[in-house]
Amino acid sequence: MTRPRQVSRIFLTFLSAFLVAAIWSCAAPKRYVHRPLIQEENDRRSVPRPASRKISLFEDAVENIFNREIDEYGNLSSHIRRLGNNHKEAKNRNALDEAPNSSWFTNRHAVQAMSREELRRGPNLGSGPDFSREVTIVAAKSEGVSPGFRVRDAMGNQYFLKFDIKGFPDLNTAAEVVTTKFVYAAGYNTPENYIAFLDPKRLRIGEGVTVRDKSGKHVPMTQSFVKQILDRIQPNADGTYRAVASKFLPGKPLGPFHFAGLRKDDDNDRIEHQHRRELRGYKVIAAWLNSYDTKANNTLDMYATEDDRSFVRHYFIDFATSLGSSGNGAASAARGKMGSFDLWHSLKKIVTLGLYVEPWEKKPRLINPSVGYFDSELFDPGNYSFIIPNPAFQRATELDGFWGAKIVMAFSDQDIRDIVTTGQYVNQDDAEYIAKTLIERRDETGRYWFAKVNPLARFEISADAGMRPVLRFADLAVAAGFEQAEQTQYRSKWLFQDRPLTGDRMVAATPEIIPDRETLRRLEQAFTPEMVDERRILTVVIETQHRRNGPWSKAVRVHIYVPPAGVGSAELVAIER
């Protein structure tokens, strides 16, 4: 390409960026009306059963590492947004900037605190498999890296069994169960996963069960094959094997879902997956749990029937590659620092002739066999790398990150310790190490993402003793101890139809906003009894300063419906960040 054409291309790129920025800056302010808040997505209507599908691991990796990246960089608008870290916000947020309940996600612990018993139970509805009698192998486990089988227990229930690799007791099984409980409490659909103990003498091969030989041909499963699997597994002193028993999900399996696009044969699937808040925000939760293998093949769609309706429910499955486990032994210290194809890391090695040593390369390869490798010292919640690029994660905005961080920060120290106990670590020092590391990574997560936005939440509108309206909220950074309450203040302004009701911003030292007399007088003048309902919207603009003489944060705009006198009470309508 000639130099003039290069200059023209650069000029057009910057001109486009300028025009896009100008259009955004001139956009008209949003108008809100009083309407019911969307708490549930209407995505559980009856639909015909979609087709089952498989996703090739290789093709999925190539698509996300190469093809999608090339397409993105060829898209000028997408390229500008990526360079400016200004992706469009998720499309399924409600007016309070939250994700509604859906076939993908259910608001749980972060919205309504679960009890200690509920946290420990997680998705489990029963007491687990019955291995006291004959256990029948009905299929070989064909996906994932950890060895196992699909079996039918004495009660006729089917489970996928996964085991600990020889030399790594508790590692895979504890990571799978503990991570399942956290992901479920966060709000996602997961299988019922139990720690179970299997006596190999009770195992028998079911009729017609086959496996693939080295040539890829299906051949009958034999005891020799079973022995090959068991020889890789960590045995207990009594000859039994510890396993994760993952109960077969209810419904008909349809195969994995992609983190981009739609399942076109599901009429309920109307929001492209890369634009869903719960999938974008999962980036933060997965990074906290060191669950770096978030590819499509660790998901599963099920055609489920509930209340006489049949629809697709979306699950996250297979958490053996989380915490300090790789599913096949200890995780690498590089996990979260680089993906499967890290060009920047390769270039540094080439340019320095291999002399440059990454900080994580100086770390030990193993903390101990039951923990694997899991640390908080080098954890960077804002730059966590997953095994392959995830299109939903790549589009995550600061608001998506803040949403995910609120979920992570909802787990108290005691909550974390309670869930870790479900991993049934033999050595309690291992359980304490895992809990301590999760607590430290939780705090790093909150500290990073709460600094990106004005971290105000849990807004409530009420009246004080003098019947003045009071807007109360929580400052999540102060509540977590990241900032000091005595050094924090809040600056607010009251607006009606985007026009200030007062000239100066009011400053408060506590997380509550109360209008002064002049503002109250103007409120009474603005909200006349005959005013139509859709115009009765009041806006409070709040900025936060966490250190005296420090910068003020971005504003949060809280929109409030003000009813006529004597008719109901004020209600939150929307929150803009």
pLDDT of 4 above 80? no
pLDDT tens-digit map of 394-450: 999 999 999 999 999 999 999 999 999 999 999 999 999 999 999 999 999 999 999
Residue 481: what pLDDT?
Answer: 97
pLDDT tens-digit map of 166-189: 999 999 999 999 999 999 999 999
Per-residue pLDDT, averaged over 13-17, amounts to: 46
pLDDT of 47 above 80? yes
CATH of 456-576 given 3.30.70.100, 3.40.50.720, 1.10.3720.10, 2.60.40.10: 2.60.40.10
Which range, 85-94, 292-301, 564-573, is most confident? 292-301
More confident residue, 75 or 4: 75
pLDDT of 70 above 80? no
More confident residue, 475 or 337: 475
C-alpha angle 126-296-284 in degrees, rounded to nearest 5: 80
Residue 3: what pLDDT?
Answer: 46
pLDDT of 130 above 80? yes
**What is the C-alpha R_g of the chain?**
27
Q: What is the C-alpha separation between 371 and 174, in angstroms, rounded?
A: 9
pLDDT tens-digit map of 193-232: 999 999 999 999 999 998 888 787 889 999 998 998 899 9
Residue 24: what pLDDT?
Answer: 43
Cβ(557)–Cβ(494) under 8 Å?
no
Q: What is the C-alpha separation between 106 and 103, in angstroms, rounded?
A: 8
DSSP string spanning 319-359?
A: --SSTTB-SSSBPPTTTBT--SS-HHHHHHHHHTTT----G
pLDDT of 547 above 80? yes
Per-residue pLDDT, averaged over 348-356, amounts to: 72
More confident residue, 479 or 518: 479
Domain limits, the chain: 70-118+260-450, 121-255, 456-576
Q: What's the predicted TM-score (pTM) here?
A: 0.90
Residue 339: band (very low, low, confident or very high) from pLDDT cuts 50, 70, 90: confident
Residue 236: band (very low, low, confident or very high) from pLDDT cuts 50, 70, 90: very high
